[in-house]
Amino acid sequence: MGLFRDLGQKVEEFKQASEAVASEEATHECRNCGERFFSDREECSECGSSDVVSLTE
């Protein structure tokens, strides 16, 4: 079972690292919940708020 536990840990580390990089590269953010996006949206897909702003301006 140690092999699967180690593999699971490595997968989780990779997932967290890739999410961090994706968040840094995002161009828009919801001011309500902090979710970040790569495209302009009228409302946040995470919380439904319409307070989505551009990070590049």
pLDDT in tens, 21-34: 766 788 999 999 99
d(Cα 51, Cα 44) in Å, to the nearest integer? 8
Asked whether residue 56 carries a pLDDT value surpassing 90, the answer given is: no
Mean pLDDT, rounded, for 13-22: 80
pTM of the model: 0.58
Mean pLDDT, rounded, for 33-52: 90
User: Residue by residue, what is the 3-state secondary structure of the chain?
Assistant: CHHHHHHHHHHHHHHHHHHHHHHHHCCEEECCCCCEECCCCCCCCCCCCCCEEECCC
Structural domain spans, the chain: 2-54
Asked whether residue 1 carries a pLDDT value surpassing 70, the answer given is: no
Q: What is the predicted pLDDT for the residue at 43?
A: 92
d(Cα 51, Cα 19) in Å, to the nearest integer? 22
